[in-house]
Amino acid sequence: MTAQTLAPVRKARPIRRPGSVFGYTLMGVFLAYFLIPLIWLFIASTKTNAGLFASFGLWFDKHINVIQNLKDLFARDGGAFGLWMRNTAVYAINAALGSSIISALAGYAFAQYHFKGRNLLFGIVLASVFVPGTAFAVPLYLLESKTGLSNSLLAVILPALVNPFGVYLMRIYTEQAVSQDLIDAARVDGAGELRIFATIVFRLIAPGFVTVFLFAFVGAWNNYFLPLLVLSKMNLYPVTVGLAYWNGLASLPGNAQVLYILVITGSVVAILPLMIVFLFLQRYWQAGLSLGSIRG
Amino acid sequence: MSITGMAVPRASKNRPPREHYFWSRLGRKATPYLFLSPFLAGFLVFLVYPLIYAFNLSLYRKKLIGGITFVGLSNYIKAFQDTNFWEGVRNVLVFGAMQIPIMLGLALLFATLIDSGVIRRVTIFRLGYFLPFAVPNVVAALIWGYFYGQSFGPIAQLANLLHLQPPIFLTSKGIIPSIANISVWQYTGYNMLIIYAAMKAIPTELYEAAKVDGANEWQIAWNIRIPLVMPAILLTFIFSIIGTLQLFNEPNVLNAVAPTAMNSHFTPNLYVYQLAFANKQFDYSAAISFTLALVTAVVSSLVLFVIFRREANQ
């Protein structure tokens, strides 16, 4: 039942409209604009570093070098890239799972209970939805380097557990998906509040939970500023910081030109998991966008 | 009174009677706070406390001789007079003035085209336009940095093929439009989908009524569809402005490819990073980062307040 509420509602479409030719041309041109840089990246990752410079960017070179590139990528700097990917995965999964659970609990509290300070607290949550994580990165860095939390994955994971947007989405979703009668019935049966949440409510809000998880996962996967500040050991880098670091080395005059092809191959490997997640979980991110906008 | 304007009335009064033990009543009262506690704890420790810490730090100054002394707001006065800081502010404002109207204008146009039925095979457009959003900022900046490049960038290659002068993107003049383009590329599809989702929530009867009255597709879009999604557009606008003020990832990554195009205080965040990380001027960087976070928080609270006041009045 809740799955249906996530599916986009379709309106009946007329067969043909004036302005179609203009519309398709324009949208087609922009489709090319959005996709060509990605296509270029995928094609470039199949070349040798020399081929990258010698052949035209938007077509394949004679020699497809992708296997060798992958081997070189994972061998470079003693297998640093594999570590970075692992770090990013550990970091994104923990941050996303933790922040989704915390958001679900808080969203449920806002949706289900009347308590002192509810409106004020929710107002604060809403206001902080707009404040991006980057605004807190330097203060966090100053604090974490003082307390000795820096240079651990926890330094990046713990701040990511606080997800005001997730709380906001979970409140709206819970209001839509959980009926008061059901909760009351469970209370009559003598179920405790936490048990009601864990056994009854959680199943109903699972699709909303996946949506929050997805956005938190992508946010954590893509994070750069905070890890750049608080992680100074190369074996702790997430893949974003690692790739930017290699790019910096590759761009030094006369230095390690071969790195360019590794940064390109590494970029492909780094974005593939996200592309797959987005393609397979379309329903959930679209639900997140519509929940965010309708009530926003 | 509620600043959120979102309090949802709920029939919770008809609960079945319960034994009114003191502890059970106390438990009832405490339950919502228990559910909230992990979030609130994290909020205080990782959002509020770092700001307080940064503020406190910003009130002191470390000197080579004499150690750490309390200097009051003098770090803030210094920031106010710091041309490096204002240059960064000016850069992000120019960047925002360029990027936000183009991005949101396109997002609105595409959403209108899709929602009005002018475009019918929408899945490919929806997915294709959104795909750049799934690319990490850093990787987007890397891709475009190479794409713009003179040595193996396809734009320069194409220009050479046609015996034209290849355009030079990553110069001190070209850098702001070049970064603006990266942001347009990454976020247009995202904003399009937010606006489109708001359009789908408009009841179809409104369009039908307008059609009965003889309105054409453009009039419907202009007079019904777009005004009704104004709150969503405003929302994307605020997010964009705030994102603009915080600009860091793209210039920091491009800096490696084009070190001459930018200086180390190109954006306020880049400057703060430089001060804290390279110069170890912790107290001064704390002052600037606190100011930035505070301005962002105040701007967003104000805007929220205005939006919900307006909505409540309607």
What is the rounded average pLDDT for all residues in chain B?
Answer: 85
B97-134: pLDDT as tens digits = 999 999 999 999 999 999 888 887 788 898 899 999 98
Phi then psi dihedrals of residue B64, to 5 deg: -60, -40
The per-residue pLDDT for B5 is 36
Which tokens go with A155? Answer: 């330094």
Of A122, A162, A290, the CB nearest to B197: A290
User: pLDDT at residue A189 above 70?
Assistant: yes
Cβ contact A136–B139 (<8 Å): no
Sole residue written with tokens 């941050």 = A95
Show the domains of chain A with their CATH numbers: 79-294 (1.10.3720.10)
Which tokens go with A271? Answer: 């974005």
User: pLDDT at residue B17 above 80?
Assistant: no
Length of chain A measured in residues: 296
Q: Is the pTM of this model over 0.90?
A: no
Which residues numbered 249-268 in A keep a CB inside 8 Å of some CB on B? 251, 260, 263-264, 267
Show the domains of chain B with their CATH numbers: 22-58 (no CATH), 74-313 (1.10.3720.10)
Q: Kindly report the nearest CA distance between residue A237 and chain B, in angstroms.
A: 14
The per-residue pLDDT for B23 is 59
Cβ contact B292–A57 (<8 Å): no
B208-241: pLDDT as tens digits = 888 888 888 888 888 889 999 988 898 888 888 8
Which of the pair, B146 or A291, is modelled with greater confidence?
B146
Phi then psi dihedrals of residue B63, to 5 deg: -115, 155
Using a CB-CB cut-off of 8 Å, the residues of chain A touching B137 are: 222, 224, 240
Phi then psi dihedrals of residue A201, to 5 deg: -65, -45
Of A118, A131, A162, the CB nearest to B300: A131
Which tokens go with A31? Answer: 């489709």
Contact call for residues A150 and A196 (beta carbons, < 8 A):
no
Phi then psi dihedrals of residue B4, to 5 deg: -85, -35
The per-residue pLDDT for B221 is 87
A92-117: pLDDT as tens digits = 999 999 999 999 999 999 999 989 99
In Å, what is the CA distance from B233 to each residue of A121, B128, B175, B206, B220?
A: 26, 21, 27, 20, 17
Which of A261-270, B198-207, B250-259 has maximum average pLDDT? A261-270
